[in-house]
Structure 1
Amino acid sequence: MNEYIHKVKYYECDRMGITHHSNYIRIMEEARVDMLDRLGYGFEKMEAEGVVSPVMEVKCQYRKPTTFQDEIRVEIHLKAVSVFKFTYGYIGRKGDDIVFTGESTHCLTENGRPLKLRERYPKLFVTD
């Protein structure tokens, strides 16, 4: 499991003063990019190899609101891997409270063709 900290910005809040729901998807993406960078598989490296990682599906369940300057601690983990796609799970917390849970499913492609994940990046997709 990896962890990422996001501090809610003023512009991320709606007229009610709470974090707009659309921002949680972006926060999950920030956590994923940060995790990949720390694992040595950042976008710069993969794109230099001609590999991109499109999003296939994203889900988010909103549990409790957050507001300006709240710190959201996002836990990210590899939830599932198949031959061509993988899913990350996310838990966002403010203190001990869960504020959101989510999932994002991705694949890797090279020249528009899907890659077999374990053949190309075996260390990245270990689930044990």
Structure 2
Amino acid sequence: MQITNHTNYIRFMEEARSDYLEQIGWPYDKLEEAEVISPVVNVNCKYKKTTSYPDLIKITTTISKISRVKLTLNYTMKVADELVCSAESSHCFLDGNGKIIDLKTKMPEFYAALQELNQK
């Protein structure tokens, strides 16, 4: 079926999210060292156009919302400047025991960085 399977877009989002966090100075390993994990609690994709395996999909990641316990990111996926998918993922923040944490209290520098990016 020469069309990219819809489930791959979720993986693309994960890679884009990892790259985004790394670019802003907060890669996943830094969060894990602080015993903070950020599982996905919601995903929403709007598929606009099919893509095929040789297509190069450019993904732009931005912060939609940030609170003390939840982060929502937007993803714009384009092939040659044509929108193929717009998506959103929401994440909570948990400690090593799986309990929801207040990000502003547990990691104030990370929370401040996300707040600053959200205001741009």
* CA displacement 1:56-94 (0-9 Å, x = unmatched): 100111100111211100011000112311100011000
Choose from 5, 8, 15 the match for 1:30: 15
Provide the C-alpha distance between the structure 1 equivalents of 2:26 and 2:85, rounded to a whole number of angstroms: 26
Residue 45 of structure 1 and its aligned partner are, at CA, apart by: 1.1
Change (3 A) 1:36 1:108: same
Contact 1:118 1:125 in 2 (8 A): no
Higher fraction of helix: 2
Unpaired segments ≥5 residues, structure 2: none
RMSD: 1.2
- Determine the structure 2 residue equivalent to 1:113: 99
Residue 104 of structure 1 and its aligned partner are, at CA, apart by: 0.2
- Number of residues of Structure 1 aligned to a counterpart in Structure 2: 113
- The TM-score normalised by the length of structure 2 is 0.88
For 2:65, the aligned partner's letter is: A
1:1-128, aligned counterparts within 5 Å? 15=1, 17-110=2-95, 111-119=97-105, 120=107, 121=110, 122-126=112-116, 127-128=118-119
Contact 1:58 1:102 in 2 (8 A): yes
Q: Stretches of 4+ moved more than 2 A in 1? A: none
Provide the C-alpha distance between the structure 2 equivalents of 1:123 and 1:53, rounded to a whole number of angstroms: 16
Provide the C-alpha distance between the structure 2 equivalents of 1:90 and 1:25, rounded to a whole number of angstroms: 10
Unpaired segments ≥5 residues, structure 1: 1-14
Provide the C-alpha distance between the structure 2 equivalents of 1:22 and 1:86, rounded to a whole number of angstroms: 22
